[in-house]
Amino acid sequence: MTKLLLSASTLVTALGAGRQATLQALREERCGLEPCAFAEVTGGHVGRVHGLEEAGLGEAGAGEAGAGEAGAGEAGAGEAGLGDRFAHFDCRNNRLAALALRQDGFEAAVRAAAARHGAGRVAVVCGTSTSGILSAENAYRARDPASGLLPAWFRYDGSYDLFSLSRYVAERLGLEGPAMTVSTACASSARAVLDAAQLIEAGVADAAVVGGADSLCRLTLRGFASLELVSPERCRPFDRDRRGLSVGEAAGFALLERPDDVPEAANGGIVLSGAGASSDGFHMSSPRPDGEGAVLAMRAALARAGLAAEEIDHINLHGTGTRANDLMEGHAVRALFGDRPVACASSKGLTGHCMGSSGIVEALIAALCLEEGLLPRSFGLVDPDPEIPIRPLTETRSAHLRHVMSNSFGFGGVNVSLVLSRAQA
């Protein structure tokens, strides 16, 4: 696989906006989960990004007033008063994406890449699982009682439509290359990274903005609750007494380019060195217990990176905190890595499970750890489950890292594994 430089990156989670806020939270082991009180849904904890109700979609300071439906259940005034050319994209999910795009000098880095390659040679590949479904939920509640018609402010193509996210990102950044949205449940944005890399390898694009966003909505919160997968307390991945997941929301983006096309190595000189995917074909919502599909994805990522398992210094585990998923992943990691202890942890105890955006967000967290030589503990893990044959870290420490892996597994048996490396490793 052609190694691709992460020449810029940015993320927003419940831990804060931007790379430095995230790194500080990791060092301080500061949890972003809070009791759920979103859109009339209560119970459990969520990783909520605050301020989206007031956020806008345009450039910072440029006509960002407006109500919209981006809040926690308001019927909303829709696009009226938003006052910018992105008004038809107004929804919580795109506001979350906008907040991420404004961080870490990301927009300037993309403009520079577009100048190098041409706007038509920069692709946009985004992952999301529910897109702006909150807008449809609010629109349905605000429909005309006599006719049943949805309110005039509701724009399906700018919110609920899965392609809305990629269209918004492309238009916001002035990019004219291939654009697509990947929706493969909780592996969506990890799969988007793989697909973007293939576009560059195939010569369809010279660079790609890749990432994803998934925001809180009633469907996700109540859907996981109906499956009895929501923990009443903060999630505790890999713990003996884990009781389920905590839902989060997040957005993250990276700019992928061939290292030789970038004047100066940016972002710590981190490259995407390998990516692999598989499909269990086992069950709509349960993972294959023996973890064979996860093993295939990890093995493929290692093969494309040209690495052996023992060269991986850290794994950001998918680690949701559910009984079946954590046990499956433990068996998969043990099957591939053997008896050699490998440093690993789940970051979902800090951010919550950010659904379709978790793949890119956790890959970027892994990249931060790689840059900073940080091995974070698996937050929420107190008493490791003896049935799980791996031992995630219970203390944060420093170490020199060369290669890290990030796992993402989704409903429907979708498995994706990414390998990130130091450019000079």
> Mean pLDDT lowest for which of 144-148, 268-272, 305-309?
268-272
Q: How confident is the model at residue 289, as a pLDDT? A: 85
400 assigned to active site: no
pLDDT band at 321 (very low <50, low <70, confident <90, very high): very high
pLDDT at position 230 over 80: yes
- pLDDT, one tens digit per residue, over 181-220 is 999 999 999 999 999 999 999 999 999 999 999 999 999 9
- Please identify which of the residues 45, 88, 314, 318 carries the catalytic annotation: 318
331 assigned to active site: no
- Please identify which of the residues 353, 354, 369, 403 carries the catalytic annotation: 353
pLDDT band at 398 (very low <50, low <70, confident <90, very high): very high
What gap in Å lies between CA 352 and CA 347, rounded to an integer?
A: 8
- Tell me how long the chain is: 425
Q: Which residues pair with 154 in a beta bridge?
A: none
**Can you give the CATH number for the domain in which 12 is found?**
3.40.47.10
Domain holding 143, by residue range, is: 4-422
- Please identify which of the residues 31, 186, 344, 354 carries the catalytic annotation: 186
Tokens of 223: 């859907």
What gap in Å lies between CA 372 and CA 236, rounded to an integer?
A: 25
- pLDDT, one tens digit per residue, over 44-73 is 999 999 999 888 887 543 333 333 444 443
Portion of the chain with pLDDT greater than 90, in percent: 85
pLDDT at position 337 over 90: yes
Per the CB < 8 A criterion, the answer to whether 204 and 178 are in contact is yes
Q: How confident is the model at residue 76, as a pLDDT? A: 39
Mean of pLDDT values over 224-244: 97
Q: How confident is the model at residue 268, as a pLDDT? A: 60
Which of the 8 DSSP states describes residue 150? P
What gap in Å lies between CA 292 and CA 280, rounded to an integer?
A: 8
pLDDT band at 265 (very low <50, low <70, confident <90, very high): low
**Amino acid at position 143, single letter:** R
Structural domain tally of the chain? 1
Mean pLDDT of the chain: 92
pLDDT at position 259 over 50: yes
pLDDT band at 110 (very low <50, low <70, confident <90, very high): very high
Alpha-carbon torsion, ordered 121, 251, 51, 110, to 10 deg: -20
Q: How confident is the model at residue 266, as a pLDDT? A: 54
Portion of the chain with pLDDT greater than 70, in percent: 93
pLDDT at position 252 over 60: yes
Q: How confident is the model at residue 340, as a pLDDT? A: 87
31 assigned to active site: no
pLDDT at position 405 over 50: yes
Q: How confident is the model at residue 68, as a pLDDT? A: 42
